[in-house]
Homo-oligomer: A and B are copies of this chain.
Amino acid sequence: MKKFTSVNDIDDPEKLVWEAIQTKHNPLEKSFLGKGKTMGLIFLNPSLRTRLSTQKAAINLGMHVMVMNLDKEGWALELEDGSVMNGSSVEHIKDAAKIMGLYCDIIGIRCFPKLISQEEDNAEKILNAFVKYCSCPIISLESATLHPLQSLADMITIFENKTTHKPKVVLTWAPHVKSLPQAVSNSFAEWAVAMKYNLVITHPKGYELNEKYTNGATIEYDQQKALQGADFVYVKNWSSYNEYGKILHDGNGWNLTNEKLSLTKNAKVMHCLPVRRNLELSDEILDGEKSLIYQQAENRVYAAQVVLEKMLKIETSVKTKSNSFTKSIMV
């Protein structure tokens, strides 16, 4: 696997989930795999779970980890190709990416959207520069549009808790006071569809996600109707995609309550965290029996680890081939 930026980089998502669960049973079993290899974790935005869980995953595989807060510890980046750099940016993203790829065997990069221009965020200039210019495999640690490690952890968690082959999974919009990215929701949608779950997305009108990611899901504007018979309810706020980055609704009536949960099939409740307690979700639900939030967070380690394993294996196999090739030349 040369990159992990979306579910489309994966041949068989269900198999990957299964392998992650095997890894969880014995996280140190493959600690030989990353020996002598170095992972670079590059952050342009805050991170807690991603920072620590991906680091832990790399450590479990025997890798060394170099963490860099590129926004604070490095140089101001230029994103435009061909620009005359006589302003405030000091280094072009293509040089920074290329060089970090020289020093690392795998790179993870976090680059949030600015939520100002739909076109610019969709272009994923930073992530794509890493994919294009790094000679090593790239993992998205949440980009402008997607957060595949979170979604894989979510899929592992659903897999561990589901009692039916194809559960009904409801992604419900929640109130918030700030304009948030669509990345977690986009990504959850495309993974749940790829897992062939029955995905229903519910939100106020105007909060439709980019159809590119929700293709295969049912959109249902009536939250109560959506919740009926649900096995899992994933709670998440996002800002409008069509009126890009805008907050269109004050959230009234969209809180998930125990009363609403009674419409479900005893559904488990999920959230990617960080969660604004008693705004997005109540303490009662978050700390209650149905909450899977900490299991999701724990599974972030095994999501990252199974992806790293695949990258390390391919790299090793390529290197072995290359060695054989070298030997055959030398003979």
Contacts and interface: CB of A to CB of B under 8 A. Distances in A.
Listed from nearest, the 7 A-B pairs whose CB atoms lie closest are A91-B274, A85-B276, A84-B278, A48-B74, A52-B103, A99-B297, A59-B64
B69 A73 contact: yes
Contacts of A1: none
B99 A294 contact: yes
How large, as a class, is the contact surface on chain A? Answer: 35 or more
Interface in A86-104: 86-87, 89-92, 95-96, 98-100, 102-104
A275 interface: yes
Interface stretch (A35-43, A182-190, A219-227, A307-315): A35-43
B273 A95 contact: yes
A145 B26 CA distance: 40
A99 B49 contact: yes
Interface centre among A38, A89, A92 (most CB of B within 10 A): A92
B55 A85 contact: no
Given A90-B276, A274-B90, A294-B99, A73 B85 contact: no
A32 to B, nearest CB: 13
A279 B56 contact: no
A277 B92 contact: yes
A51 interface: yes
B276 A86 contact: yes
A301 interface: yes
Interface stretch (A14-22, A75-83, A156-164): A75-83
B277 A85 contact: yes
A275 B73 contact: no
A330 B45 CA distance: 46
A71 B40 CA distance: 22
A273 B46 contact: no
A28 interface: yes
Contact of A99 (B100, B273, B279): B273
Interface string A105-118: 00000000000000
Nearest to A89: B276
13 contacts: A38-B59, A48-B91, A49-B99, A51-B73, A55-B66, A56-B66, A56-B103, A82-B278, A89-B276, A90-B274, A91-B273, A98-B297, A102-B298
Contacts of A31: 36
A165 interface: no
A68 interface: yes
Given A46-B73, A95-B273, A279 B85 contact: yes
Nearest to A43: B73
A82 B283 CA distance: 7
A278 B177 CA distance: 42
A52 B64 CA distance: 12
A175 to B, nearest CB: 9
A242 interface: no
